[in-house]
Chains A and B, each alone.
Chain A
Amino acid sequence: KQEVTQIPAALSVPEGENLVLNCSFTDSAIYNLQWFRQDPGKGLTSLLLIQSSQREQTSGRLNASLDKSSGRSTLYIAASQPGDSATYLCAVEAGTALIFGKGTTLSVSS
């Protein structure tokens, strides 16, 4: 059974710092991997989708990488801002639906 783990569960950084969020999965037979952001009391916003044949995707200050063989993905956030404070969720598609990690809650202080 596919399991997705995100470490750390929480992270606090000062504004301007570059940071990396980690995601690992147990079964490398995935179709794609998706990173989401969730603000308190809100829905999920898709940040980046990496297809299984891709190694990375970039959007603005965000860069996500995928290493299927090792079962790992990282989300790199450059020059963090207080507005980046949220919970970041990693999910892998195995079959049709997504299997989610429990998220990393990021707090960026000004």
Chain B
Amino acid sequence: DAGITQSPRYKITETGRQVTLMCHQTWSHSYMFWYRQDLGHGLRLIYYSAAADITDKGEVPDGYVVSRSKTENFPLTLESATRSQTSVYFCASSSRNHEQYFGPGTRLTVT
């Protein structure tokens, strides 16, 4: 089924571990985004990508790394997880008219 998927849906990890969150879209959208959603802060942009091999920082990029070797995939890596990175992470992609479509989210807990 076409759409945008994220994996894993739930993840518990320990402080200092590396974690990678996966995002896959089947629409061949050029733009893809990573947001985090926290109580009190709402949704904030971490990184985005305009095309394969083109990425740029958003509002809260520290502690995160992204790559985009293929148009359909946009993984987000936490190089050394911290408790402050406990959050719900959403991946999104946008169509030519800039309408953004969101994945189901990954709930990450760092202990």
Contacts and interface: CB of A to CB of B under 8 A. Distances in A.
A103 B42 contact: yes
A89 B92 CA distance: 15
Interface in B37-56: 42-45, 48, 50, 56
Contact of A98 (B56, B100, B103): B100
Contacts of B43: 89, 91, 98, 100
A31, A49, A93, A96 pick with most chain B CB within 10 angstroms = A96
Interface residues of B, number: 21
A46 B102 CA distance: 8
Interface string A76-103: 0000000000000101010011101111
B90 A43 contact: yes
Contacts of A89: 42-43
B104 A42 contact: yes
Given A43-B102, A44-B90, A97-B33, A51 B48 contact: no
A105 interface: no
Contacts of A45: 102
Interface in B73-111: 90, 92, 97-105
A43 B99 contact: no
B16 interface: no
A28 interface: no
Contact of B48 (A42, A43, A49, A96): A96
B63 interface: no
A42 B106 CA distance: 10
A97 B62 CA distance: 17
Contact of A34 (B58, B100, B104): B100
Contacts of B100: 34, 46, 91, 98
Interface of A: 31-32, 34, 36, 42-46, 49, 51, 89, 91, 93, 96-98, 100-103
